[in-house]
Structure formats: structure tokens, C-alpha cells
Amino acid sequence: MNYDISRLTIEEKIGQLLMFGIEGVDITDHAIHLIKELKVGNIILFARNAKDPKQLFTLNQSLQKLAHETLGIPMFISIDQEGGMVTRIFHGATFFPGAMTLSAAGSLDDAYKMGDFMGEELLALGVNMNLAPVLDVNNNPKNPVIGVRSYSDDPIRVADYGIQYIKGLQNHIFATGKHFPGHGDTHLDSHLALPSVDYPLERLEAIELVPFKRAIKEGIGALMSSHINFPAFTEEGRPTTLSKKCLTGFLRETLGFEGLIVTDGMEMKAIQDHYGTVEASLMSIQAGANLVCICHSEPLQIEAIQRIKHAIETNELPLDVLDERVKRVLDTKSKLKPIDLEKPYEAIKHHVENKEHQAFSYHIVKKALTLVKGEPLKLKASALFIGMLPKATTQADDTDGLYDIVAHIHKELPKLKTQRVPIIPSEDDISFVIEQAKDVDQIIMTSYNANIYPSQIKLIDELSKLGKDLHVIAMRNPFDLYYTEHIQNYVCLYEYTPNSIRVLLGYLKGDLRLEGRIPVHYEPLHSRH
């Protein structure tokens, strides 16, 4: 169905360029006010909005009904359902694996299938845009925000896996490649600061841009801009999101991208601290963005609308520019699949609570289990398991502290001695664990982003001095070997999720073969500067 831009008021046009977060698991006064009074045309969902599939389905039906009654134009309802460590729907629907897990499992057919299965579930739930996949090439082991959210440090591999996932997903809904033109080689998290990537265009063409250019060629529906300054593309030290030179000049005109440009969250510190969310929301539309994401603050959402409206009145944002941005949104919405707003959850339940999808996801995590160095574990009678409790490393995570492997071990391997350790072990924690480890023949330690939390590396180094049979199992970023030469036996699982806990238990029991191949390159420690 085609939507006629000439029938929209200025307020309705502005609303089509906004993608706002809402509170709660039911439709609230906030959501009603945004849609009915402020004409906001799109919603972004978070874990706070998803209690279970039936509730989420009902919420999305309610949002679309309200949009239909108010505007007669469907909403984009988007979500960051990457899989693995960035998952928003935890309960009832399939818990899909993350990008690096999928890559380590080694099948492009499975990447397509995962996109297809995930798209089927999201569409059934009423989500029509997924803010995935991550097309960043994670070639910086110190990266605090991407890591296992990337398929690899190899641009060709990222492109190959990303494209297959996109094709599967876009059988059902729109994919959104992120974070253009690449968040992989930063050591700062743009949720917290404004990173800069200073490479010349030749280097960016050879690495960062490879997956994005492939995605554009293959017809991806949307790209998300990064809050990163790329001097090769941007002007005046601006992040990509606010750069007309990058979004309009480079992405639209040079690369020929015709899909939607979506901003990353405009309350992130890279934007808020340097430009202010409200002013930056206008700047992003001026630069070329089609959907502006303000995910959390209702006052900032309202102020941004007022600022954009004022800019139209003063011609800071000319009407023809506004119309160009809006027309792309309406043209894309014309391709959305029709939705039946009266059907009950029972009619779509089989798509979401799907045993085939769940078995597939477990199979991928099991296939990804990777022996990187040394020998597979053969559990000894006298052994200590040191469990690192997970913690959200970045604001993109919603998996903070949800799962505890030690509790599962108590249940399934009651004779295995265990010790929980905080994600940043103190000197006292390290001393205590060393004392515990002196009495056993074998030590099994899980690490969790030890590239970001170096006291975990210190614990590994201290444990290695005991001369025991030491096994390290990385439950997220696989970069431990960059920071120490004292790991004898090293296995990677790439995520700390219900499926990976189940796989880890199988590995401890000796039930699993290690089939995965690590999708990042290692150099010996002594050969790097």
C-alpha cells in the first residue's frame, strides 16, 4: 500500500522520522500521548517491554491499532534482537546465538537459517524491524562494546555471515546493519564517550566498509549510523550520525544506499555530552537520517519534537529536505507485510514457541565450542571450578546477572568443588581463590571479557604458578590469549546464555566434541608491540 505524503501535517511528517522508546509491558499514557497527540510514527522496544511472548504480541497489536486509528500508517516496531549477549526477548521465544558463536560454528547455511527463524518469530510477535546484524569488523581486542557481537575480525567473513543472516531475516522483516561505517576498531564505547577512528579512506575501504558495501549491494533495508568521528568521512569532528558529508555525501551519493538511515540511541554519551540529545536529533535529520532513536527520556523526546518543528518554521530544516527524509520512510513502509490486528496470540504461538528453532539454537552453540589451545578437559576427581559471574559490559547488554553456572553445577555435578568470583576480582578475591586451588589437582576457570577486566588475567597468571592442570573457558570475548602466555588449555564459548551454560555442563561431563573454529586471529604475545 502506498502512503501519500501530501496528506500529512507537519506534525505527522516529523512523527514519521522518530523512533521512541516507551516504558512498561502494557500500553501506557506515555505511549498513547506519543502516538495520539505527538504523532510519533515508530517505536523501539527493550527488555523492559518484553515479559513474555503473549504480552509482547498484545503490546505490539495495541501500538499498531493506535497508530492505525490516529494516522492510518503502520509503525516500525524495532528491537535489538542480535542474539547472544544482546537479546531483548528472553522468555518463551527462542534464545538465539550471537554473531561470533554463529561464525565459530562455521556454517553459512545456518546463518541464513537463523535469520529466517528469527524473522519468523519477530514478525509473528509484531516486530517488523530488527536492529541487527552487527556488521562491524572487530579487529581491536580492546574493543569494549562490540567483541562477540561481531562475526569476526576478518571483513570477508563478517560480510559473508552478515549477508546470509540478512537474507534470512528479510524474508520476513527489515534488517538494520550497524554501526556504519564501523565500530570494530575502537577502544572507547560510544555509549560512554565519543570515539574517533583516524584511518585513511584506503584502510577503511579495505576493512570497515567491506561488509556494509556488500549489504547495500544485497538490498539491506536499513543501516544504523555510529556515534563515531571518522575524519576521512566527517566534518568538524562530528560523529557519523551528525555528518551530512558522511550520511548524504558518502553513504547516499557515493555508495548509492537507498534504504533507511537509522541513528543509534541519541541519549548515548557520545552525543549527549558533546551536542545534546535535542539539538543532535535535528542535526541528524539535516545530515540525512530517516529515523531518530530516543530510547528512554520522555522529556527529551518531547523537546526534540519541539526543536525539529521550530527548525521547520525557521527554515533551518527546509520542507523539501523534510519531505525527502519522510518519503523514504513511507516508501519503505509500503513494503511492510499486512498485519491482522484482530488475530489472537494462539494463532501465531506456533511460530514463536518453536521447538525446532530452540533445538537449532542449542545445536549452533554446541557446534561453536572451540578448543583454541591445549587439550580438551577430562574432569579429575579433585577439581575446582571458578565461575565468573557475568555483568553487563555495555548499555547494549540486557543479560546482566541472569544466569549462574555455579548453581547449575551444584545441581548436575555436585562433587565438583566450586567458587564464584566477581567479574573484577580484587586482590583479596585472588588470594582466597589461590588458597582454594592449592588443594586440588585440576582448575577450571571461566573468564568473561578479561580483555576489559585485567584482574581476571592476573588471576589466571597466579593460578598458573601453582603448576596444576589449568583450563580456561572464555564465556564471552575470546581474547584472553592476547594478554597472557600462561593459559595451557583454552576453550571458547563466546556467550553466557542458557544454551552456553547447557553446553558447558556437557563439556564438563565429557559428553561433547569440540567442533568450533575460532573466528579471530591470534598473534603470539611476544611478536606484538
Q: How far apart are CA 172 and CA 421, in angstroms?
A: 42
Find the DSSP H helices in 42-200: 53-70, 99-105, 108-125, 155-169
Angle in degrees, CA 47, 264, 78, rounded to 5: 45
Using left for φ > 0, alpha for ψ between -120 and 50, and beta otherwise, residue 91 falls in beta
Q: Does the active-site annotation cover 264? A: yes
Give the C-alpha separation, 312 to 325, whole Å.
Answer: 13
Farthest CA pair distance, the chain: 77
Q: Which of 136, 264, 397, 398 is catalytic?
A: 264
Q: Contact 285/13 with Cβ under 8 angstroms?
A: no
Task: Output the CA–CA distances (angstroms, integers) from residue 412 to 386, 387, 416, 481, in the order listed.
Answer: 16, 15, 9, 30
Distance CA 90, CA 83 (A): 10
Strands of the 489-492 sheet, one edge to the other: 370-373, 489-492, 469-474, 442-447, 383-388, 417-421
3-state secondary structure of 42: strand
Long-range pairs for 230-239: beta carbons < 8 A, 24 or more residues apart: 230/181, 230/196, 230/197, 230/204, 231/196, 231/198, 232/199, 232/200, 232/201, 232/204, 233/181, 233/201, 233/204, 237/196, 239/190, 239/194, 239/270, 239/271, 239/274
* Residues whose CB is less than 8 angstroms from the CB of residue 331 and which lie 6 or more positions away in sequence, other chains included: none
Among 114, 9, 1, which residue's Cα sits nearest to residue 363? 114
User: What is the phi/psi pair of residue 124, to 5°?
Assistant: -60, -35
Three-state DSSP class for 405? helix
Q: Pick from 152, 227, 151, 137: which is nearest to 188 by CA?
A: 227
In this structure, the strands spanning 129-130 and 76-79 are parallel
Phi first, then psi, for residue 386 (nearest 5°) are: -105, 110
- Of the candidates 191, 274, 363, 486, the residue annotated as catalytic is 191
Neighbours of 1 (CB within 10 A): 10
* 189 in catalytic set: no
| The amino acid at 82 | E
Query: In 3D, which of 254, 190, 256 has the Cα closest to residue 220?
Result: 256
Which are the catalytic amino acids? 191, 264
